[in-house]
With several copies, the nearest count.
Chain A
Amino acid sequence: MKLSDARVVIEGLIFASEAPVSAQEIAAITELDVSVVESLVEEIREQHAQGALMIRNVGGGYQMVTKPGLAPWIEKLGRPVVSAPLSAASTETLAIIAYQQPVTKAEIEQIRGVRSDSAINNLLDRELICELGRKAGPGRPILYGVTEKFFEHFGLRSTDELPLKGITEWK
């Protein structure tokens, strides 16, 4: 077997193995020296330098995994995809958060006059708002604010760019 072929075989073995596969196991299957296997694994690593995958050493073997930076995207796999527009309740809640951030749930409910838990959860799911921390004082309520994604969607740089942002003297 040519070394270039061996490299491909090793890549396939590491990908397909249920458990991490050791250099010794690979050497036994490919009939190569362990040292050759190890240097070929290094070559495969270099090959994947620009891609999504990497080979990590784990439990005495090699295992192919995605690079850590991809986790936020990969976590979204298998989730249902929803394209429903925002409800009126969520839109109201989003408006209040955008103009008043950082703001607590109680403050939002005072303005809207109704409970807003489900609207807040919906906005969190849509990643339009996030928790900014906790307010000092009794109960230390969670403070909400809008996210990068919110700014992206409306083409804004910051909340200062919201129309008529100045009108907050009653606050």
Chain B
Amino acid sequence: MGYVIELDVYQGPFDLLLDLVAKNEVDLWDIPIAAITEQYLAYLYSLQEKDLAITGEFLVMAATLIRIKSRMLLPQEPPEDETLEESEDPRTELVQQLVRYKFFKEAADFLQQRYAEAARQFTRGQRIESYDLAPVYTCPVGELTLEELRSIYQELISESEKEPPVHTISSTISLEERLALVRLQLMGQPRATFSELVREDSVAEIVVTFLAVLELARLGEIRLIQTKSFGEIDIRPLELEVEVQA
């Protein structure tokens, strides 16, 4: 098919049709379809005579126009309902498409105008170097008040003073002692939980107890079960477990 080159005068079949409607000075909502179809086809023939290729869309529209024309020639059946009559006008869909296209064609004219205007306004010629993109903070302190700042500071200072130095932990409670203690606590128990073992203890003692429990597990004396992160640790003395199963 040779229908590859677009018509340079018209943007498409809608454009051509709108032009014909304008030239005939007829109402877009009441197009004399027979006359317009005739002119539309005449235009396409004239292009063919000049050996200009016609794109497929123009031919599709030609077919549409002929179909509408023939439908309008058919005798109208008496309408059963007054409201139905108008929607059965075979031109309706085409007219709606034309109205829609016309709107955007006018919008395009507006854009062309604005473009011409804006093109006459020149921006600054020189370019400045781009700077690094550290963000700009609109409210750098947020809702923070001076009183909050003070109390945060006081809390930090008292926390940092309260916490005993790390080296005193190991010197007061030895791992061996704690290991023996945990064995004692588990004796005769079918199971225990870690929190039962450390009920009254300080953070330092909890750490040593935890190490002792890990050591017992490594030695195969107990089994540890924890079903979720930071959850309770169940301690099962292994010898006992075997006895129960037997």
Question: Residue-by-residue, is B117-134 near A (CB-CB < 8 Å gives 1, otherwise 0)?
Answer: 111111111111011011
Picked from B124, B140, B143, B161, the residue with its CB within 8 Å of the CB of A126 is B140
Complex CA distance for A99 and B106, rounded to whole angstroms: 12
Q: CB distance B123 to A153 under 8 Å?
A: no
Across the interface, name the chain A residue whose C-beta is closest to B105: A92
B73 CB-CB contact with A under 8 Å: no
Is A164 in contact with chain B by the CB < 8 A criterion? yes
A-B contacts at CB below 8 angstroms, number = 222
B142 CB contact (under 8 Å) in A15, A70, A86: A86
B193 close to chain A: CB less than 8 A: no
Within 8 A of A (CB), among B77-115: 96-97, 99-101, 103-108, 110-112, 114-115
A67 close to B (CB within 8 Å) = yes
Count of A interface residues, CB-CB < 8 Å: 64
For residue B163, which residues in chain A have a CB less than 8 angstroms away from its CB?
113
Is B144 a contact of A86 with CB atoms below 8 Å? yes
Contact B149 A98 (CB under 8 A): yes
CB contacts (< 8 Å) of B229 on chain A: these are: none
Q: A114 and B11: CB pair below 8 A?
A: yes
Q: Which residues of B contact A31 (CB under 8 A)?
A: 138
Q: Which of B100, B112, B115, B124 sits near A15, CB closer than 8 Å?
A: B124
Q: Among the listed A66, A83, A162, which residue makes an inter-chain contact with B138, where contact means beta carbons less than 8 Å apart?
A: A83
Q: Which of B124-159 contact A (CB under 8 A)?
A: 124-128, 130-131, 133-144, 146-150, 152-154, 156-157, 159
Task: Determine the interface band of chain B, counting residues with CB < 8 A from chain A.
Answer: 35 or more
B121 adjacent to A66 (CB under 8 Å): yes
Shortest distance between the CB of A22 and any CB in chain B (Å): 13
In the assembly, what is the distance between CA of A126 and CA of B123, in Å?
18
Q: Mark B1-32, 1 if CB is under 8 A from A, else 0.
A: 00000100001111100000000000000000
A111 near B101 with CB under 8 A, answer yes
Q: Interface stretch among A2-10, A35-43, A73-81, A130-138?
A: A73-81
For A70, list chain B residues within 8 Å (CB): 122
Question: In the assembly, what is the distance between CA of A86 and CA of B14, in Å?
Answer: 20
A92 touches B108 (CB 8 A): yes
Q: Which of B97, B128, B137, B150 has the largest count of A CB atoms less than 10 A from its CB?
A: B137
> With a CB–CB cut-off of 8 A, which chain A residues contact B137?
81-84, 125-127
| Contacts of B15-57 to chain A: CB distance below 8 A | 15, 55, 57
Partner of A115, one of B57, B99, B108: B57
Choose from B100, B105, B118, B141 the contact partner of A86 (Cβ within 8 Å): B141
Out of A12, A75, A92, name the residue touching B104 (CB < 8 Å).
A92
> CA A79 – CA B147 in complex, angstroms?
32
A47 on the B face (CB < 8 A) = no
Q: Which residues of B contact A (CB under 8 A)?
A: 6, 11-15, 55, 57, 61, 96-97, 99-101, 103-108, 110-112, 114-115, 117-128, 130-131, 133-144, 146-150, 152-154, 156-157, 159-161, 163
Measured CB to CB, the residues of A under 8 A from B are: 12, 15-19, 28-29, 31, 54, 56, 63-71, 74-86, 88-89, 91-92, 94-96, 98-99, 110-115, 125-128, 149-150, 152-156, 162-164, 167, 170
Which 10 A/B pairs are nearest by Cβ-Cβ distance?
A85-B142, A155-B118, A114-B12, A126-B140, A65-B121, A95-B153, A71-B120, A95-B107, A68-B120, A16-B122
Known pairs A74-B128, A96-B156, A170-B103 / 20 extra A-B pairs, C-beta < 8 Å: A15-B124, A64-B126, A68-B117, A71-B119, A74-B122, A82-B135, A85-B115, A94-B111, A95-B105, A95-B153, A96-B107, A113-B15, A126-B140, A126-B141, A155-B118, A162-B107, A163-B150, A164-B103, A164-B154, A170-B96
